[in-house]
């Protein structure tokens, strides 16, 4: 009961102080504008095509660093790279960037993404074999 009274009193004070038009500006149809509450800002950067283009370029850069060693494909990273490139392909299709679309599709072809044929052995980088440190060898 006391909360309801407090809320009602606060609303009356707000209407009396700001005026009816300004109170209706908070989402009620027919309201006016409040000074200082309009305009865009940095929050819109995250939804722009520029930000999406940067995200796609970062994916391409990460895939290039991780999925290749000495110009050859690292087999253990191929699936990860193809998954990342699938995300990048969705992004570039959404922003309709022809140059990035071509780069992503070329890289997907290079990594044999979506192709059921095995990757030729001459295109694979040798895997680093790490010794099992817990294994005891007889001396």
Give residue 106's domain range: 45-123
Has residue 75 been placed in a domain?
yes
pLDDT given for residue 103 in this prediction = 95
Has residue 130 been placed in a domain?
no
Domain count, the chain: 1
pLDDT given for residue 130 in this prediction = 65
pLDDT given for residue 16 in this prediction = 53
Has residue 64 been placed in a domain?
yes
Q: What share of the chain is helix, strand, coil (3-state, %, to 5)?
A: 60, 5, 35
Has residue 34 been placed in a domain?
no
Q: Is 40 exposed, middle or buried (0-12, 13-18, 19+ CB in 10 A)?
A: exposed
Q: Using CA atoms, how far apart are residues 51 and 59, in angstroms rounded to an integer?
A: 13
Which stretches of 41-97 are DSSP H helices? 49-66, 75-95
Has residue 36 been placed in a domain?
no
pLDDT given for residue 50 in this prediction = 87
pLDDT < 70 regions, the chain: 1-46, 129-139
Has residue 23 been placed in a domain?
no
Has residue 97 been placed in a domain?
yes
Has residue 40 been placed in a domain?
no
């Amino acid at each position: 009961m006391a909360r309801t009274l407090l809320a009602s009193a606060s609303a009356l004070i707000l209407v009396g102080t700001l005026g009816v038009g300004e109170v209706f500006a908070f989402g009620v149809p027919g309201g006016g504008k409040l000074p200082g509450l309009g305009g865009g800002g940095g929050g819109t950067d995250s939804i722009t095509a520029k930000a999406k283009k940067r995200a796609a370029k970062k994916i391409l850069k990460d895939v290039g660093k991780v999925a290749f060693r000495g110009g050859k494909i690292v087999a253990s990273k191929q699936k990860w790279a193809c998954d990342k490139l699938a995300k990048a392909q969705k992004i570039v299709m959404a922003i309709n960037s022809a140059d990035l679309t071509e780069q992503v599709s070329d890289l997907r072809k290079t990594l044999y993404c979506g192709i059921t044929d095995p990757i030729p052995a001459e295109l694979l980088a040798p895997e680093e074999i790490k010794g099992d440190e817990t294994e005891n060898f007889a001396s």
